[in-house]
Amino acid sequence: MGLHWAWHALAVAGACRMTAVAFDAIVRRVVRTASQARDEQHMCAHVFAPPPALPAGPRPDAGIAVPPPAVEEQ
């Protein structure tokens, strides 16, 4: 059996390949999780409350801040 070394080399190469694939998957997951956490933190920092709903119709205080111009009688 002169090809015993070939099977051994093939097994070692397969194990190295599986290790590299597993390491790549772990790195991708860590990077994706960190990216999602960064994006979520960035979004939470810029969330603003929506403006309050205004009632329909004229406002009761409309016109109080600026009085109407004086009318001079002639």
**DSSP letter, residue 73:** -
In residues, how long is the chain? 74
Closest by Cα among 56, 58, 39, 59 to 47: 39
DSSP, collapsed to helix, strand or coil, labels residue 33 as helix
What's the start-to-end Cα distance of the chain, in Å? Answer: 126
Question: What is the rounded average pLDDT for all residues in the chain?
Answer: 79
3, burial (CB in 10 Å: exposed 0-12, middle 13-18, buried 19+)? exposed
Backbone Cα Rg of the chain: 36
pLDDT score, position 57: 64
The residue among 63 and 28 whose pLDDT is bigger is 28
